[in-house]
Structure 1
Amino acid sequence: MSGEQRTIDVPVPRSQTGPSPQHLLATVLGEYLDSADAALPSAAVIAILGEFGISESSARSALSRLTRRGLIVARGDGRVPVYHLTAAAIASHHTHMRRFLSFGARPPQWSGDWTMASFSIPSSRQASRHAVRKALSALGLVGLYDSVWIRPGTDAEAVRTALSRTLHDVGGARWSVMHVRFDEEAGPHGPAAAYDLAGLASSYRNFIERYADLRVAVRDGRVDAARALVARTSVMDSWRRFPEIDPDLPEHLLPAPWPRRQARDTFLEIHAALGSPARERLVEVATPHWPDAASWITFFTAQ
C-alpha cells in the first residue's frame, strides 16, 4: 500500500430522512453567511445545492419558498436577481445554532418542580382531545396518564394559553395547570415513566454508531474539502433533532449509562474540525458564479 492519503473511502452519512431542499438551503446559508449585505446569485445557490444532489429546479423552488417565507429577499433588476439573507433570519439562525451547540453541555439546574396540565373533555369530543394533545406536545409536555401531562420546570403561561385557546368553546371541558413536585420522583411511578428514555438512548447510540467512521476519518485527516461540506451538514442535520426530542431531565432520572455526552462529543468534534474545509469547498463551488464569494463566506463556530 502506498503512503498516499485516502480520501474516497470514508462514508459520509446523511440524516435518516434527508432534509428538504428548502431546509437544506436555510441551514447552509445560515451556517456560512453572516451578513445581510452578501449578494448571492441564484447560479451560486444552484451550484451549492448541487453538492447535495439537489437538482436545479428544486434549488430554484427552494429559493422561491425561502423568499416567500421572508428569510431571504431578492434584489436586482428582476432579470438576474441576487439574494440576501434578512437580518432577522441571521439573528434567528444564530439563536438556533447556539442552542444546538450548547445542548447537553451541562446538567440542567434542577429545583424538582414540574408543570402539570390536567383536562377533562366529553367523550364525544375526540377532535378536541386530539387538538389538546397536539398543542401540549408542541410545548414539550408528555402524557403521564391519559389526561395528565407534564414537563420539567415552572413556566406555565404558554400551557395555560394553549389550553384556553383550544378548549374555551368546548362544552363540558375543564382543565387545570399546576406546579407540582413528586414524592417519589425517581420511582417507577414518577415522571420519568412518561418518557421513552430507552428509545431516546437508542437514538443517541445510533447517532454515535452512524458517525463513528467519520469521526475517525476526521481525526486521521481523511476528509478533504470536497467532502467536508456534505459531511458537516449531515452531522448537524442529525444532531439538531436532539434538543427537540430530549426533555433534558436531571441525571438522577436517567438510566445509566446515558449516551448523550458521547453523542455530543462526536457531533462537536466533527462539526468543529470540518468548518474550515467546508468553507473552502463552498468558496470553490460558488466562485465561478459569484466572484466575491471568498469575501462573504464564513462558518459558524461554537463560542
Structure 2
Amino acid sequence: MTAARAPASGTVAARVAAFGQQSRVRAGSLIISVFGDAVLPRGGRLWIGSLIRLLEPLGINERLTRTAVFRLAKQEWLRIEPHGRRADYLLTPAGQRRFEEASRAIYAGQPRAWDGRWRLMLLVGEMDAKAREPLRRALFWQGFGHIGPDCFVHPSADLDEVLRALVTEGLRDSPRQLMPLLAVDALHGLSANDGDLVRRAWNLDELAQAYAGFVADYQPILDALGVDAERIEDESAFLLRTLLIHDWRRLLLRDPELPDMLLPTGWPGQQARRLTQALYQRLLAPSERHLDQHLRRADGSALPAPAGLQARFHGAPAPALHAPQPSASTA
C-alpha cells in the first residue's frame, strides 16, 4: 500500500470493522443493496460464488450468504436458473420493478417533489396487537408515519407497490392481516394542519439523529479521499460503496421525504444526500474495476460493463408520483 493510500484505507477499514461489529448483521438486506447497486446495472444475473467472494470481507460468510439468498428466493426477490452444477441467481420481474422504483429515490439529485396528496393506509377491521405489529413495522420501513393505531400516512408512496411489498415481505402467509387494510389516495392541500399531521405522524428528531450519525460515519472518509479516487484500493472502494449505499438506502426507507416546507430548518437529510453523492462519485471508478474482476455468471462469463452510472445523483429530482383521482383499494 502506498503512503498516499494509507489515510483513506485506514478510515475505510474502520468503517468495515464497525459494520462487522454490529450485534445483528442482516445479510439479506445487504445482498439486496449489492444487487440493486452493482448487479442490476449489469443485467441482474449473478453466480452465488461471486456474491460469496464479494461479501466475505464484510464478515458475511458462505453459510450466511447461501441462507440469505435462499430466503430472498422464497420471498420472490430472486429466482434460480441452474447451469450444470452451478446456478445463477436472477432478479424476478417483481424484484426488478421494486429495485427500479427504489433507485429513483436512492440516486436522485434531489428529493422527490410533493404533489400535495397524502397517501393513507387504514385498518378498517379487527386486528389484534400481535398481528398489527408486523404490519406497523413493515409500513415504518416504507416511510409511513402513523396518526393513531388505525391510520398510516405517507406523502408520496405508490399504494399498489406498498400492498405488493407487504405480500412479498411475508404477510401473505397470514392473509387475514391484509383483509382489513384499505389504501386511500386523498387530496389534501397545504394548510396549517399539514404541519400538525407531520408532528403527530413522524419522530423527526429520531430521523435527524440517524442522518447526523450517517454524516459522522462518512464525512471523515470523504475528507480523507479528497478529490483523488486513486487514494483508495479497488476492493476497499467496493466495500465502502456497498456500505454507503446500504446505509443510505435504509435511511431512505425510513424517510417519508417530506417537502422542505414541512421540515425543520437545517434538515440534515440534505447534507447526507450531498455527502452520498460526492463520496459515491469518488468510489465509482475503482469499485467498478473490482466488480469487473470478480463478478461472474455460473458459466464463468463476466458480467457486461454497465452504462450510465456516472449519471447517478446528477439527474433531476425523483419524479412526483402521478396523482390519480381519489380512489381506494383493498387487498
**TM-score, normalising length: structure 1:** 0.72
Aligned twin of 1:172 = none
Q: Which has the larger radius of gyration?
A: 1
SS at structure 1 position matched to 2:276: helix
Partner of residue 231 from structure 1, selected from 240, 244, 252: 240
Alpha-carbon distance between aligned partners in 2 of 1:26 and 1:129, rounded to the nearest angstrom = 26
Q: Deviations over 1:174-209 (max 9, x none)?
A: xx996555752366x454343211111111111111
The answer to whether the Cα contact below 8 Å between 2:114 and 2:156 also exists between their aligned partners in 1 is no
Correspondence list, 1:275-290, <5 A: 275-285=284-294
The answer to whether the Cα contact below 8 Å between 2:113 and 2:259 also exists between their aligned partners in 1 is yes
Shift of residue 85, structure 1, vs aligned partner = 1.9
Aligned twin of 2:87 = 82
Which AA in structure 1 matches 2:70? S
Structure 2: which 5+ residue stretches go unaligned? 167-175, 316-331
Which AA in structure 2 matches 1:254? L
Structure number with greater CO (CA < 8 Å, separation at least 6) is 2
The answer to whether the Cα contact below 8 Å between 1:117 and 1:150 also exists between their aligned partners in 2 is yes
Aligned twin of 2:278 = 269
SS at structure 1 position matched to 2:136: helix
SS at structure 2 position matched to 1:75: strand
Aligned twin of 2:193 = 185
Shift of residue 140, structure 1, vs aligned partner = 5.0
Is the aligned partner of 1:9 residue 2:15?
no
SS at structure 2 position matched to 1:54: coil
Alpha-carbon distance between aligned partners in 1 of 2:68 and 2:211, rounded to the nearest angstrom = 30
Correspondence list, 1:37-56, <5 A: 40-56=46-62
Alpha-carbon distance between aligned partners in 1 of 2:123 and 2:34, rounded to the nearest angstrom = 42
- Two-structure CA RMSD over aligned residues (Å): 4.4
Shift of residue 296, structure 1, vs aligned partner = 2.8
Shift of residue 90, structure 1, vs aligned partner = 4.3
Shift of residue 230, structure 1, vs aligned partner = 0.8
More helix by share: 2
Is the aligned partner of 1:296 residue 2:304?
yes
Aligned residues: 287
**TM-score, normalising length: structure 2:** 0.67
SS at structure 1 position matched to 2:81: strand
Shift of residue 225, structure 1, vs aligned partner = 0.8
Q: Deviations over 1:45-98 (max 9, x none)?
A: 332222322222223334434444461423222xx2131424624454333223
Structure 1: which 5+ residue stretches go unaligned? 169-175
Q: Structure 1 residues 148-157 or 56-65, which shifts more?
A: 148-157
Correspondence list, 1:94-243, <5 A: 94-102=100-108, 105-106=110-111, 108-111=113-116, 113-114=117-118, 126-127=128-129, 130=132, 134=136, 137=139, 141-145=144-148, 149-152=152-155, 166-167=179-180, 179-180=187-188, 184-185=192-193, 189-221=196-228, 222-243=231-252
Q: Deviations over 1:94-138 (max 9, x none)?
A: 332232111x70462353x4456777889xx75499369739946
